[in-house]
Amino acid sequence: MNTVLVIILAYLIGSIPSGLWIGRAFYNTDIREQGSGNLGATNTFRVLGKKAGIIVTLMDILKGTLATLLPTFAILSNSNIHPLVAGAIAVVGHMYPVFAKFKGGKAVATSAGVLLGYHWPIFVILVIVFLICLKLFKMVSLASMLAGIIALIYALANAMVSHEYYLLIITAILVIFVFYRHRSNIGRIKNGTEPKITWL
């Protein structure tokens, strides 16, 4: 029973459309109708500004972290579901949220939150690489994908040393999610039309 409960809770937590709710509650704006139309943090920055963007980014990260920690809570500890699996389910909820007609974000921040909740060093590396790539290339999408690749390399190296294969497998799945959700961005990067940030 607890296994089913963790799965449902993880999905519902991931489904919280942070950008949509923040936009409607404090800016009287539906970010799905502006910018890229995406519910993620990047479009929130673009449409609502830095303050809202930071808040939504943190909320999306914490969704992944909270879902990952669910199986460790005493009341759910006999759920027989690995924390990383719960986290991955939350990422699915973020991408396909029941509270926003199954049209969600691109999995980056929530995936990062999953890694934070389970193995914080990989999260720190991901953030550092992301910020460096963002500074160099000015493209959030490219920085996100490059950070994902580095996170995967770290998880592979870690598995070779510690035999932590769950981390490797789930990190690989999360990176696949990120690349899949950025497939249109990849096309724009190739033809030079991907939007660039101006604030960093």
| SS3 labels along the chain | CHHHHHHHHHHHHHHCCHHHHHHHHHHCCCHHHCCCCCCCHHHHHHHHCHHHHHHHHHHHHHHHHHHHHHHHCHHHCCCCCCHHHHHHHHHHHHHCCHHHCCCCCCCHHHHHHHHHHHCHHHHHHHHHHHHHHHHHHCCHHHHHHHHHHHHHHHHHHHHHHHCCHHHHHHHHHHHHHHHHHCHHHHHHHHHCCCCCCCCC
Query: For residue 199, is pLDDT > 80?
Result: no
Q: For 112-130, how does the pLDDT look when each residue is reduced to its tens digit (9 = 90+)?
A: 999 999 999 999 999 999 9
User: Taking the complete model, does pTM exceed 0.75, yes or no?
Assistant: yes
Q: Where are the domains of the chain?
A: 2-191
What pLDDT does 42 receive? 86
Q: For 133-187, how does the pLDDT look when each residue is reduced to its tens digit (9 = 90+)?
A: 999 999 999 999 999 999 999 999 999 999 889 999 999 999 999 999 999 999 9
